[in-house]
Amino acid sequence: MATEAMEQLARREYKQGFVTDIESDTVPPGLDESVIAFISQKKGEPQWMLDWRLEAYHQWLKMTSPSWAHLDYPPIDYQAISYFSAPKKPEDRPQSLDEVDPKLLETYEKLGIPLHERAALAGVAVDAVFDSVSVTTTFREKLAEAGVIFCSISEAIREYPELVRQHLGTVVPQGDNYFAALNSAVFTDGSFVYIPEGVTCPMELSTYFRINAANTGQFERTLIVCDKRAQVSYLEGCTAPQRDENQLHAAVVELVALEDAYIKYSTVQNWYPGDEDGKGGIYNFVTKRGDCRGDRSRISWTQVETGSAITWKYPSCLLRGNESKGEFYSVAVTNGRQQADTGTKMIHIGKDTSSTIVSKGIAAGKSNQSYRGLVKVSPRATGSRNFTQCDSLLIGDKCGAHTFPYQEIGNSRSTIEHEATTSKIGDDQLFYCKSRGISEEDAVSMIVNGFCKDVFQELPMEFAVEAEALLSVTLEGSVG
C-alpha cells in the first residue's frame, strides 16, 4: 500500500501553491509567550486560539516533568528546543545517503522501500522532496463528495474554527499532563478529521497521504470527530523507520465519537530507535485518548510499536455513553536498548459499557518494557464489562517485561476479567523449528507472529502484512 502510494506520489508534480505557510523563518530556541504568539501568528490563527495556547503554557509552567520507575533518560532541556519547526535547512541535513546510518538504509532495503523514497525518509536534503499535500487534492475530491473533512489542524483552525473550537481540548484538556500541556501551547502540525452524521468514510484515511514522511512534526495535534452514526478508519504512521532531528516528540490525539459512531484508529509506529548505542533515537511521549461520548459509540485503538528510543503512551477510552465500547489492541516490540512504557486506560462511566484490552509485549536484546493498564468502573457504570489479556514474550535473558494492571471497580454489578502470561522463546522451540529446516530468523518471526496474531487481525489488511515484515526486521539478530 505504502509503496504504491509513494510511487503514485513521485509521478506527480510538486505544486508550489500548497506550501504557503511553511516559509523558512525560524525562532531561536526557547519558549516564552512571544514564541507562542509568533507561532499563532505564523499560522494565521484567531485570537481564541492564541488565548488557548497561552492558557496551556501557563499551566505547563506550573507542572514538573514526570519521572517513571521504568524509564531512564537524561533530562530534556526545553529551552534548547526551537518551537517553530521550520523546514530543516538543507545544509543541516545529511547531504546524501552516504551520510546516513548504514543500518537504517539496510532496513529500508529489507522492507522493500523504493530507492527514491529512502532518501526522503532518512531526512536527506533532496531538492524535489515530494510533498504529500499535492496528493491530498485527489483524495479530497472524493472525501468532499461524502462531506468528510480531512486536513491539517492549522488549516482546520482557519477554515472550520467553530468545529475545532467546539471539540479541541474536550478529550485531552490543556493541563492533562506535562507533555499534553506543552503540546497544547506549541503544536504546529497534525490532522483534523470530521465525519458528518450518518456517513461512513469512503476510504481509510492515512496520515501517509497528508504528511511529508521526512518531516513529521515534533508537536502534532490530531483531532477526529465522528458525528452520529458515522464511521471512520484512520491509519497513522508507516512501517519505514523514520528519522528526525527532533529528539522529543510529544503528540496529542483526541477522538470524539457521538451516538452510534465508530472510530478505528490504527498506528504503526516505527521511529528511529537510534544507532546501536541508542544515539539519535526518538523520545516518543504521546497522549492519545478517545471519548465515547454518545450512547453505543465505539472506539478501537490498534497499535504496533517498534521504534523510538523511548516510548511513553497510553491510548485510552472514556466510555461515557451508555453501551459504548472501548478496545485496545497493542503489539509493542523493543530490541537493542529501547525502553517502552505503554498501556491503556479504560474509564467506564456510562451504563453497560464494555472494554477489551489485548496487549502483546515482545522484548529482545537489552530492552525493557512495561505494560500499565487501568480499568476504572465508576459507581453508576453498572453492567459494565472488561476483558484484559496481557502477554509478554521474552527473547534472550537480558531484556525485561513488567506488567502493572490497576483496577478501580466502583460497583458490584460489573465483570472484570484479567489474564496475563509471560513466556520465553525457548531454545527448544527454536531447535525444533530449525531441525525441520527453518532458519532461526524465520523461526523467531514465525513464533512472534503467532504470538501477535490476535492483534494483527485487528489491523487493516495491508497494514497487517507490513506489520509482520516489520516485526521480523525489528527482531533480526535478536537471538544467538
Residue 65 interacts with another protein (CB under 8 A)? no
* CA distance linking residue 376 with residue 388, whole number of Å: 13
Residue 374 C-alpha cell reads as 487501568
Place of cell 472550520: 160
Residues 76-105 as x/- pattern, contact with another protein by CB under 8 A: ------------------------------
Does 420 sit near another protein (CB under 8 A)? no
Question: Could you tell me how many residues of this chain bind another protein (CB under 8 A)?
Answer: 22
- Rule CB under 8 A: choose which of 426, 461, 462, 477 binds another protein: 426
Query: Minimum CB separation from another protein for residue 439, in Å?
Result: 5
d(CA 190, CA 376): 30
For position 429 contacting another protein by CB under 8 A, the verdict is yes
Reference 121, options 52, 215, 260; nearest CA is 215
Q: Is 451 in the site for another protein (CB under 8 A)?
A: yes
Question: Least distance (Å) from another protein to the CB of residue 471?
Answer: 13
Judged by beta carbon, residue 197 or residue 440, the one nearer another protein is: 440
Work out whether 68 is an interface residue with another protein (CB under 8 A): no
Q: Answer yes or no whether residue 170 interacts with another protein by CB under 8 A.
A: no
Per CB under 8 A, the list member of 453, 460, 465, 476 interacting with another protein is 453
What whole-number distance in Å separates Cα of residue 39 and Cα of residue 28?
12
Contacts of 465 (CB under 8 A, 6+ apart): none
SS3 227: coil
CB of 393 to another protein, least distance (A): 9
Residue partners of 24: CB distance under 8 A and separation at least 6: 86, 87, 89
Q: Which stretch binds another protein (CB under 8 A): 4-12, 67-75, 100-108, 435-443?
A: 435-443
Q: Which amino acid belongs to residue 214?
A: A
**Residue nearer to another protein on the CB measure, 62 or 436:** 436
- Distances in Å between the Cα of 368 and the Cα atoms of 104, 249, 393 are 22, 20, 12
397 binds another protein (CB under 8 A): no
Alpha helices in 68-167 (DSSP H): 102-110, 115-121, 133-146, 153-159, 161-167
> Considering all CA atoms of the chain, what is the largest pairwise distance in Å, rounded to the nearest integer?
69
142 binds another protein (CB under 8 A): no
Using rule CB under 8 A, residue 413 touches another protein: no
Judged by the rule CB under 8 A, the positions of this chain that interact with another protein are: 423, 426-429, 431-440, 442, 446-447, 449-451, 453
